[in-house]
Chains A and B, each alone.
Chain A
Amino acid sequence: MNVAGTSKYFALLFYVFSFCFTSLKGQNTFKLKFKNSSVYAGIEVGSKGVKMSILEIGKNAQKNGTFNSLKDTTVNTDFISFNDSSSAATLKGLMGLYRTATLIYKIPVEKIFTVISSGVKIQALKENKMEMVKALIDSFKMKIGDKDRKVEVVDVVQEARLSHLGIVPESRRYNTFLIDIGSGNTKGGYFPYGNTDDFKLFQLSWGTKSVANATEKRLEDDKSLTNYNKHLQRVLTGAENSEIIYRVNESGAYPMSDNIAFSGGIAWSVATMLAPEMIDNAVVPLTYNDVAKFYERILRNYSSLADTAITKSITSKDIDKKAVAKEVKRVNQVFDQRALLAGTGLLLKIMRQFEGIYEKKQFYMVKNGSVGWVSAYVDETVVKK
C-alpha cells in the first residue's frame, strides 16, 4: 500500500470511528425524564432560520402536558428574503438538521416532523413567493429520497392551535387561554366550544422587539434609562388603548378562561429569573404582582438579575445551581435590561386585562412553548392514526 493509499485508509478509519463515537454519544446524551416515553424531532422552517427541537414525549403527554425538551438547534438562514442564496442556505440547514436527527441522534424518520411556519406562509403570500416555498419542499424531499415525506405549511390558526394542544394539558384544555408573545407580534387563542376543532385565534401586532423598537425611536437625544422607561410606558399605554383592550375583549376569553398561559421568550425569561427554584419545571405559576415587582427590579435593581445574584438567593440545597446559573446567563444574553423592560411591560399590559377585582385568573409562564407544537403533531399524526 502506497502513502496515498495508507492516508486514505486512515482517513476512512478515522471517519468511521468518529461517526460511531458521535452516534453513541448522541444516543447517550439524552437523559430521559418519563416512564414509557419516546424521542421525537420537529424541524421548523421559520422566517429567520431553521430550528430543530428534540423532545421526549411521555405516554400521557396530551393528558398531563408532559414533554421534555432535550435539545434545541437553530441555523440562521433568513428564508423570508426569498432570494436564491437564502433559499439555498435554508435547504442546506433543513438537510443538515434532518441528517443530524437521523444519523447522529438515531431518531427514526417516522418520528421526525418537518413543517414550514405560519410566519413564512404569511410573508410568502404577501410577496407572492409561494412557489419558492414549494420549491424548497420539493428539493428537500428529493435530496432525502423520500417523496412521501410530509412537509406541511401551517397557517397561523393551525400553529396556535397545535401549540395549545401541545402545551396545555387535557385537564385544562377548555379553560386556558394561551398567549405567545413573540418578538414581532403576539398570537394565541383558546378552544371556546369544548372541542379541539374550533379554535378562537387572538392576535396583536405588538411583540417584545416591536415595543422596544418603538420606544427607542422616541428617545431622541436622551438615551438614559429613565427616559427609556418614560417613553416605554407611553408606547405601552398607546398599545393598550389602541389594541390590547379591544383584542382581549373581542376574543371573549375573559369569561371563558380560568387560566391564562403565556409562552415566548419573555415568558421564559420572567419564569427563569423569578422562580429559579423551578429550573426543571417547564411551567411556572405567577401573579400579576410578582411580574409588576419584577418590572421594578429590572428598572431599579438590575444587578440582582445577574446569574451570581440569583444563584446566591437560592436557599435549597437540592436545586442545581449550575443549571440555574447557565439558564439565567442565557436569558441575559438574549434580553438586555431594556429588552427585558419592554417584554415585561407588554406582558403586564396583557395580564392587566385579566386581573379582575373579584375574579382572579391564574397566570402561568410556559418556558418551552416554542416546541409545544411537536408534541401536538405527534398526537395528531402518529397516536391518532
Chain B
Amino acid sequence: MKETKSTLLLLVPIVLLLLSLLLLFKWGLQLNQLQKAVQPLTLPKKDSITFVSALKDSLQKIYNITLSQLDNQLTNALVSTDSLATGIDTKLSDFYKLKNEISAILKKPASAVNLQLIEQKINSLQAMVNVLKSKNKDMEEENQRLNTMLATLREDTKPFQQNSNPSISIAQSVSSTAPLLGNFTLSNMHLSALMTDEEKEMETSLADLTDKFAGSFTLKNNSSYKQVEIAVVLIGPDGQVIKNSEWETGTFETKEGRKIYSYKTGFEYLKGEIKKVSFSLNIENPTRGNYTMQVYQNGTLIGRVQKILS
C-alpha cells in the first residue's frame, strides 16, 4: 500500500513536467508564427528612403509646376498689360544693341575681325528681325481680336438694353410702347385720369369726369449724376401740351428741337438710388381720345405711355 502511494506521488510531477514542456513548445511555435506574420509590415531600410525621396520629388514637381504656372500667368498678365508697347520696346532695344555691336566689330581692322563671331551676331540679328516680325503679326492679331471682342460686346449689350427695359404696369385703358433707350432705367410708369367727388379723388376713364391727370414713374441708374433734369410732356388728343398753369411750364431742348414741358424736376442722383417721380396736372375741358405722356431725361426721350379717355 505504501509502495502504490509513492508511485502515484512520482507519476504526478512527471505528468506536470511533460505538460509544461508541451506548453512551452506550443508557445514557442506560436511566437515563431507571430514573428513571421509581422515581418512584411516592416520596410527594409533602403526602400523606405527611396519612397520618401520619391514622394518629396513629386511634391516638389507639383510645387514647381504650380509655381511655374503662376509665373507664366503673372508673366502673361504683365506682358498683356503692356504687350503692345514694352515687349516691342525691349525687342527693339535688343535689336539696335546687336546691330551696334556688329557695326562696332566691322569697324575694327580686318585682321582683328572674328568672322565666326560676326556670323553668330548676324544670325542673332536675323533671328531678332524674325521675332519683331512675329511680334508685329501678334499685334495685328491682338488688334483684330480686340475689335471683334468690342463688336461682340456691342451686339451683346443690345438685347441686354432691350431686356433691361422694365415692364410697365399700366391700367386697363392704358396702352404703352416700350420705353426708349436712355441713361436711366425707367419703370412703374403710370398715367391716371382722376375725378374729384366730395374732395375724394377717384380714377376714371371718362373725359367728361376728368379733373386732373396723375403720373408717376421710377428711375434707376448705375452711375451718379450731379444734376439730372427730368421733363414730362403730356400731349392731349389735339396735339397740345397740357399744363398745370402758365407759370409751371416752359421749354427744354431735345434732339428733335425745343419742346414745351408739362412738368419738370431736377435732382442730384446717387448711384443705384431708386428715384420715384410723381406729379399731377389739372385739366380744363378734357376731350375724348389719346393722351400721351413722354418722359425726357436731359433732353433724351426715355419713356412713353398712353391713356385713352372715352
Using known A-B contacts A35-B284, A317-B239, determine if residue A278 contacts B256 with beta carbons closer than 8 Å. Answer: no
Which A161-182 residues sit within 8 Å CB-CB of chain B? 169, 171-172
A360–B190 Cα gap in the complex (Å)? 32
Task: Say if the beta carbon of B289 comes within 8 Å of chain A.
Answer: no
Contact B245 A66 (CB under 8 A): yes
Contact A278 B247 (CB under 8 A): no
A33–B257 Cα gap in the complex (Å)? 27
A171–B246 Cα gap in the complex (Å)? 12
Residue of A283, A317, A318 near B247 (CB, 8 A) is A283
Residues of A within 8 A of B152 (CB): none
Task: Say if the beta carbon of B258 comes within 8 Å of chain A.
Answer: yes
Residues of B within 8 A of A317 (CB): 239
Closest residue of chain A to B264 (Cβ to Cβ) is A285
Task: Say if the beta carbon of B250 comes within 8 Å of chain A.
Answer: yes
Using known A-B contacts A315-B256, A316-B257, determine if residue A278 contacts B245 with beta carbons closer than 8 Å. Answer: no
Task: Say if the beta carbon of A64 comes within 8 Å of chain B.
Answer: yes
Residue of B249, B257, B284, B285 near A278 (CB, 8 A) is B249
Task: Say if the beta carbon of A284 comes within 8 Å of chain B.
Answer: yes
A58–B246 Cα gap in the complex (Å)? 13
Which B208-255 residues sit within 8 Å CB-CB of chain A? 235, 239-241, 243, 245-247, 249-251
Contact A34 B251 (CB under 8 A): no
Using known A-B contacts A317-B239, A318-B239, determine if residue A281 contacts B249 with beta carbons closer than 8 Å. Answer: yes
Interface string of B243-278 (1 = CB under 8 A from A): 101110111000011111000000000000000000
Task: Say if the beta carbon of A70 comes within 8 Å of chain B.
Answer: no
Smallest CB–CB gap between B261 and chain A, Å?
Answer: 10
A275–B260 Cα gap in the complex (Å)? 9
Closest residue of chain A to B239 (Cβ to Cβ) is A318
B contact residues, total (Cβ < 8 Å):
18
Task: Say if the beta carbon of A44 comes within 8 Å of chain B.
Answer: no
Task: Say if the beta carbon of A282 comes within 8 Å of chain B.
Answer: yes
Contact B240 A275 (CB under 8 A): no
Interface string of A269-309 (1 = CB under 8 A from B): 00000010110011111000000000000000000000000
Closest residue of chain A to B238 (Cβ to Cβ) is A318
Closest residue of chain A to B245 (Cβ to Cβ) is A64
Task: Say if the beta carbon of A65 comes within 8 Å of chain B.
Answer: yes
A74–B88 Cα gap in the complex (Å)? 85
Task: Say if the beta carbon of A364 comes within 8 Å of chain B.
Answer: yes
Using known A-B contacts A34-B284, A35-B285, determine if residue A316 contacts B259 with beta carbons closer than 8 Å. Answer: yes
Residues of B within 8 A of A34 (CB): 284
Most chain B beta carbons < 10 A, residue from A34, A281, A282, A317: A281
Closest residue of chain A to B257 (Cβ to Cβ) is A315
Closest residue of chain A to B235 (Cβ to Cβ) is A318
Interface string of B48-81 (1 = CB under 8 A from A): 0000000000000000000000000000000000
A35–B285 Cα gap in the complex (Å)? 7
Residues of B within 8 A of A172 (CB): 247
Residues of A within 8 A of B259 (CB): 277, 316
Residue of B240, B247, B249 near A169 (CB, 8 A) is B247
Contact A281 B285 (CB under 8 A): no
Closest residue of chain B to A319 (Cβ to Cβ) is B260
Contact A285 B245 (CB under 8 A): no
Which A120-169 residues sit within 8 Å CB-CB of chain B? 169
Smallest CB–CB gap between A382 and chain B, Å?
Answer: 21
Residues of A within 8 A of B235 (CB): 318
Contact A65 B247 (CB under 8 A): yes
Residues of B within 8 A of A275 (CB): 250-251, 258
Residues of B within 8 A of A281 (CB): 243, 246, 249, 260
Closest residue of chain A to B284 (Cβ to Cβ) is A35
Residues of A within 8 A of B245 (CB): 64-66, 169
Task: Tell me what chain A mostly uses at the interface: helix, strand, loop, or mixed.
Answer: loop
Closest residue of chain A to B258 (Cβ to Cβ) is A277
A65–B249 Cα gap in the complex (Å)? 13
Interface string of A16-54 (1 = CB under 8 A from B): 000000000000000001110000000000000000000
Closest residue of chain B to A368 (Cβ to Cβ) is B246
Using known A-B contacts A34-B284, A318-B239, determine if residue A282 contacts B258 with beta carbons closer than 8 Å. Answer: no
A312–B298 Cα gap in the complex (Å)? 24
Residues of B within 8 A of A278 (CB): 249-251, 260
Contact B258 A318 (CB under 8 A): no
A38–B260 Cα gap in the complex (Å)? 28
Interface string of A49-76 (1 = CB under 8 A from B): 0000000001000001110000000000
Smallest CB–CB gap between A371 and chain B, Å?
Answer: 14
Closest residue of chain A to B285 (Cβ to Cβ) is A35
Residues of A within 8 A of B284 (CB): 33-35, 58
Residues of A within 8 A of B260 (CB): 277-278, 281
Residues of B within 8 A of A33 (CB): 284
Closest residue of chain A to B282 (Cβ to Cβ) is A64
Residues of A within 8 A of B250 (CB): 275, 278, 284-285
Residues of A within 8 A of B247 (CB): 65, 169, 171-172, 283, 285, 364
Smallest CB–CB gap between A37 and chain B, Å?
Answer: 9
Using known A-B contacts A66-B246, A281-B246, A283-B246, determine if residue A315 contacts B258 with beta carbons closer than 8 Å. Answer: yes
A275–B256 Cα gap in the complex (Å)? 16
Closest residue of chain B to A275 (Cβ to Cβ) is B251
A281–B258 Cα gap in the complex (Å)? 15
Smallest CB–CB gap between A351 and chain B, Å?
Answer: 16
Contact sample, A vs B, 12 pairs, CB 8 Å cutoff? A65-B245, A65-B246, A169-B247, A275-B258, A277-B251, A281-B246, A285-B249, A315-B257, A315-B258, A316-B258, A316-B259, A318-B235
Given contacts A316-B258, A364-B247, 17 further A-B contacts (CB under 8 A): A35-B284, A58-B284, A65-B246, A169-B245, A171-B247, A277-B251, A277-B258, A278-B249, A278-B260, A281-B243, A281-B260, A284-B250, A314-B257, A315-B256, A315-B257, A316-B259, A318-B235
